[in-house]
């Protein structure tokens, strides 16, 4: 199936639209100061998301998001000195097919998503199968800010300051059985609030999965916020994954179920087009998509479509941290 990559309806921001670096640095400093005792305040502000009225401008909606306190991560590979993608770009140029196939559609249509109350069901090969409230899940790990590269299979990339904690903290909390070899993630699928689901491009709900060692890797982030605030709806609110060494579609948004299984799950894109989207989907410049090269990428916010592209890095630049997970594997066969 064809993934459309043009930018109809999308306008790159003016310099005046981009958050000034000094303002962002000040906000990060405040978050570090608040992190010791302000987590409850972040949770209390969660319900404010539902006050966003249809028809309010995207900028006003983002300005109203409550802060999500976090400390800066010291985990190796969790930070980069690269220039951040602007908040405007990161929240108006998105893949979220539940709200349509165009990159601009999620920002225009995701206001319909209801994120409160929210719960996550844990099931399968685990000692503590149950349904957890989002507020409880948020407390299972220490919130950190991590600046990760996001690389999408269509050939574009961003650098985003995410907020969350290692997925391994949740996994340890629910105590998977030794027979659990994979973790499957199921995302929200509500045709009343997600107009894209009424299209026929995927078999809903959207599912993704990781091998257990991938899920347990400390860089795999259970994510609740970005840019110092709770996740905007178009970016996967209220909780999503970020797996920085894999193509972006592996990082499921608006998660409602986590399932521990013995056999490799058949995930959404591998089901829809197995010749194009493998289970692993590690960023690999030497393994092309059948219809385009993966050797280079275009960083959103850097010039235009005709400007020189960046060379794609193996495992999206995280080879030192995650390369050992795939030692001895045929990465062409296991793409």
- Is 334 inside any structural domain? no
For residue 332, being part of any structural domain is answered with: no
What pLDDT sits at residue 225?
98
Helix (H, G, I), strand (E, B) or coil at 138: helix
User: Which pLDDT value is given to residue 306?
Assistant: 73
Instruction: Tell me if 257 is assigned to some domain.
Output: yes
Q: Is residue 6 part of a domain?
A: no
Here the CATH number for the domain that contains residue 46 is 3.90.420.10
Residue 121 lies in a domain: yes
Q: Report yes or no on 9 lying in a domain.
A: no
Q: For residue 318, give the 3-state DSSP assignment.
A: coil
**Secondary structure of residue 14 in the 3-state scheme:** coil
User: Which pair of structure tokens corresponds to residue 126?
Assistant: 């685990």
First-to-last C-alpha distance (Å) of the chain: 18
Please check whether residue 64 lies inside any domain of the structure: yes
pLDDT at 64: 64
pLDDT in tens, the chain (335 residues): 333 333 333 333 333 333 444 444 444 443 444 343 334 334 434 433 333 333 344 544 555 688 999 999 999 999 999 999 999 999 999 999 999 999 999 999 999 999 999 999 999 999 999 999 999 999 999 999 999 999 999 999 999 999 999 999 999 999 999 999 999 999 999 999 999 998 878 999 999 999 999 999 999 999 999 999 999 999 999 999 999 999 999 999 999 999 999 999 999 999 999 999 999 999 999 999 999 999 999 999 987 777 789 999 999 999 999 999 999 999 999 99
303 - beta bridge partners?
A: none
* 4 lies in some domain: no
The dihedral over CA atoms of 188, 191, 196, 202, expressed in degrees to the nearest 10, equals: 70
Q: Extract the tokens encoding 163.
A: 């907020």
Cβ–Cβ < 8 Å for 254, 97: no
Q: Cα(285)–Cα(315) distance, rounded to whole angstroms?
A: 9
- Domain coverage including residue 83: 15-326
Q: State how many domains the chain has.
A: 1
């Amino acid at each position: 199936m064809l993934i459309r990559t043009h930018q109809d309806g999308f306008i790159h921001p003016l310099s005046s639209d981009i958050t000034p670096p000094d303002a962002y640095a000040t906000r990060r400093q405040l978050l570090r100061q608040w992190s010791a005792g302000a987590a409850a305040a972040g949770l209390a502000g969660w319900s404010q998301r539902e006050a966003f009225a249809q028809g309010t401008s995207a900028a006003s909606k983002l300005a109203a998001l409550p802060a999500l306190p976090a400390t800066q991560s010291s985990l190796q590979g969790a930070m980069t000195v690269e220039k951040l993608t602007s908040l405007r770009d990161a929240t108006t140029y998105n893949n979220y097919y539940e709200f349509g196939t165009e990159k601009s559609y999620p920002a225009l249509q995701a206001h319909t998503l209801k994120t409160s109350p929210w719960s996550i069901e844990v099931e399968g090969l685990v000692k503590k199968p149950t349904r957890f409230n989002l507020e409880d899940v948020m407390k299972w790990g220490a919130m950190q800010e991590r600046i990760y590269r996001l690389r999408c299979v269509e050939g574009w990339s961003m650098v985003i300051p995410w907020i969350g904690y290692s997925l391994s903290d949740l996994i340890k909390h629910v105590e998977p059985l030794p027979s659990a070899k994979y973790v499957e993630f199921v995302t929200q699928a509500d045709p009343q609030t997600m107009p894209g689901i009424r299209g026929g491009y995927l078999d809903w709900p959207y599912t993704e999965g990781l091998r257990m060692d991938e899920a347990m890797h400390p860089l795999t982030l259970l994510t609740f916020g970005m840019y110092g605030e709770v996740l905007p709806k178009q970016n996967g609110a209220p909780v999503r994954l970020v797996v920085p060494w894999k193509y972006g579609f592996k990082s499921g948004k608006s998660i409602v179920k986590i399932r521990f299984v013995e056999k490799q799950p058949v995930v959404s894109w591998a089901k829809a087009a197995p010749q194009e989207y493998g289970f692993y989907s590690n960023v690999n410049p030497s393994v092309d998509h059948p219809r385009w090269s993966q050797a280079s990428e275009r960083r959103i916010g850097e010039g235009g479509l005709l400007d020189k592209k960046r060379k794609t890095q193996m495992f999206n630049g995280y080879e030192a941290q995650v390369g050992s997970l795939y030692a001895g594997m045929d990465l062409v066969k296991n793409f």
